[in-house]
Amino acid sequence: MYSDRGIDVGIPAFLINWTDEFVDIDTSRYPFPNTLWYVKPAKEIILKSSAMLIIGVIGIFLNSIILIILVKNRWLWTASNFLIGNMALVDMLTLLFCPWFMLVRDFYQNFVLKNFGCRFEGFLQATLLLASVGAVMLVCYDRLAAAALTSEARVTKAFAPKLIIITWVVSMAISLPWILRRKYMERQWIDFLEMYCVEDRNFLEIYWHFILLLLVWLPLGVMVITYGGIIWRLEWSARELSSRGGGQIVSKARGKAMRVTAMVLLASTICRVPYTVLVYWRNNLSKEINAVQGGYEIMWFLASYLMYLNCAINPLIYGFTNVRFRHAMDRTPGLACFRFGSWCCICTVVARDSKDLDVKNVERIYVIQETPVPNKRFRHAFKNFLHIHKQTLELSVLRVDEVTTKPTKVTPLKMEHCIEV
């Protein structure tokens, strides 16, 4: 627990204002130049552990639901859902391991994780957080491609696993400095064996800004560009259709996209920007004893907590607002009893609006989907034309003497993609 012993007035001044110049001093001749407290008070430990436990349990539970739904419903195995599943897996692993490393560092005066923890803890947290950023950017691009780009620009089912593997490999490669540029050290004082993890400040001060760019500004920039592109595309479509006397459905989809965009950007800004403040504050700290206590210590815990909170709310933003996921929730064994698709506050609003669109739909956009590429040989052209997917297009070969006004059947374009973004 905290000790009543304060800083010894007999300690030399150069030990109180410690710098790298004095690393070779024989510290065993001097008492520890700071207050000895060993472990933080039980009240603080319970409060911080409870706060972290709440988001940890909720986040792991929600992300595991997304993964269970994907595993048990093969009809959801699409490229877009693979990317969402990867995000859920990264967030679940992050909440499963990283918060407890952070709490152990916060609760003990010494670095009790020792050499393995010194090198592996930073590497693990950086890898998972960077992989989470990569997963978010992939999902954003996939939604942009589905709503505003051509079909050739979309991520295919075969290519999605490769992109996921690439993001993991790149995240681990970028995180390697946490292994190579950190080391565990011990210092013996007269009354205390000090254990700590030291960083290569000359390298990692620059590296911190690079990590900050990847963790905060890059995902925020990608979100602004992708969701801005989606809203622009819907706005253009609404104006084009309104000039012909329609466009009500696209206008409603545009409104939903704007609300979802505001929710995504607000959550990301609140959860990630404090980390920017923490890094700049850290780089401007004076090299004095207790410089990291007080306001900086509170900011460190708050910024880290919000980064983990983002992992807990991602399944609500990207999974529970997905129409297909909500339908699967109420039909998956083991999850149907929760009735997530029916009572979830966010999902209920979206589901109600979707039903209203179907009931009041007086205008439909028709497309022909999944038409096979015609064979280049002329003798197969007619055969390919008649074998177009029956659920998409039905054609009948008329007799010469038959007269009919029956129209060709086509499938109306569903607005699910616009609603989900």
pLDDT in tens, 299-353: 889 998 999 999 999 988 888 777 788 888 878 877 766 666 565 544 444 444 4
Is residue 34 domain-shared with residue 179, that is, in the same domain? Answer: yes
Domain boundary among 263, 295, 319: 319
Write down the pLDDT at residue 203. Answer: 81
Is residue 233 domain-shared with residue 290, that is, in the same domain? Answer: yes
Instruction: With CA atoms as reference, report the closest residue to 14 among 35, 30, 37, 38.
Output: 30
The torsion angles phi and psi of 86, rounded to 5 degrees, stand at: -65, -40
Is residue 311 domain-shared with residue 395, that is, in the same domain? Answer: no
Domain boundary among 263, 285, 319: 319
Positions in the chain whose pLDDT score sits under 70? 1-24, 241, 243-248, 250-251, 253-257, 285-294, 336-421
pLDDT in tens, 80-107: 899 999 999 999 999 999 999 989 988 9
Which of the 8 DSSP states describes residue 411?
Answer: E
Is residue 199 domain-shared with residue 90, that is, in the same domain? Answer: yes
Q: Is residue 182 part of a domain?
A: yes
* Tokens linked to 359: 């009931």
Residues 351, 420 contacting (CB under 8 angstroms) = no
Is residue 163 domain-shared with residue 256, that is, in the same domain? Answer: yes
Q: What domain range is 396 assigned to?
A: 365-416
Residues 388, 409 contacting (CB under 8 angstroms) = no
Is residue 236 domain-shared with residue 136, that is, in the same domain? Answer: yes
Separation CA 286–CA 240 (nearest Å): 59
Q: Is residue 330 part of a domain?
A: no
Write down the pLDDT at residue 246. Answer: 59
Q: Measure the N-to-C terminal CA separation of the chain; round to a whole number of Å.
A: 51
Which of the 8 DSSP states describes residue 393?
Answer: E
Is residue 145 domain-shared with residue 225, that is, in the same domain? Answer: yes
Q: Is residue 345 part of a domain?
A: no
Is residue 83 domain-shared with residue 161, that is, in the same domain? Answer: yes
> How many structural domains does the chain have?
2
* Tokens linked to 92: 């679940």
Q: Is residue 145 part of a domain?
A: yes
Q: Is 183 helix (H, G, I), strand (E, B) or coil?
A: strand
Give the containing element (helix H, strand E) for 185. strand 182-188
Write down the pLDDT at residue 407. Answer: 46
Domain boundary among 265, 293, 319: 319
334 by Cβ neighbours in 10 Å (0-12 / 13-18 / 19+) ranks as exposed
Q: Is residue 122 part of a domain?
A: yes
Residues 171, 127 contacting (CB under 8 angstroms) = yes
Q: What is the CATH number of the domain that holds 145?
A: 1.20.1070.10
Q: Is residue 55 part of a domain?
A: yes
Is residue 137 domain-shared with residue 259, that is, in the same domain? Answer: yes
Q: Average pLDDT, whole number, for the chain?
A: 75
Separation CA 416–CA 80 (nearest Å): 13
The torsion angles phi and psi of 192, rounded to 5 degrees, stand at: -165, 135
Report how many helices (DSSP H) and strands (DSSP E) the chain contains, helices first.
15, 5
Is residue 134 domain-shared with residue 35, that is, in the same domain? Answer: yes
Is residue 270 domain-shared with residue 371, that is, in the same domain? Answer: no
Separation CA 146–CA 298 (nearest Å): 42
Residues 301, 55 contacting (CB under 8 angstroms) = no
Tokens 């669109």 sit at which residue?
A: 357
Write down the pLDDT at residue 151. Answer: 75
Residues 51, 308 contacting (CB under 8 angstroms) = no
Separation CA 320–CA 57 (nearest Å): 17
Q: Is residue 196 part of a domain?
A: yes
Is residue 254 domain-shared with residue 389, that is, in the same domain? Answer: no
CA distances from 59 to 23, 42, 79, 141, 391 (A): 43, 25, 23, 24, 39
Q: Is residue 4 part of a domain?
A: no
* Tokens linked to 294: 């007080």
- Residue 97 C-beta-side C-alpha neighbours within 13 Å: 16
Separation CA 307–CA 273 (nearest Å): 9
Alpha helices in 73-194 (DSSP H): 79-107, 114-148, 160-175, 177-180
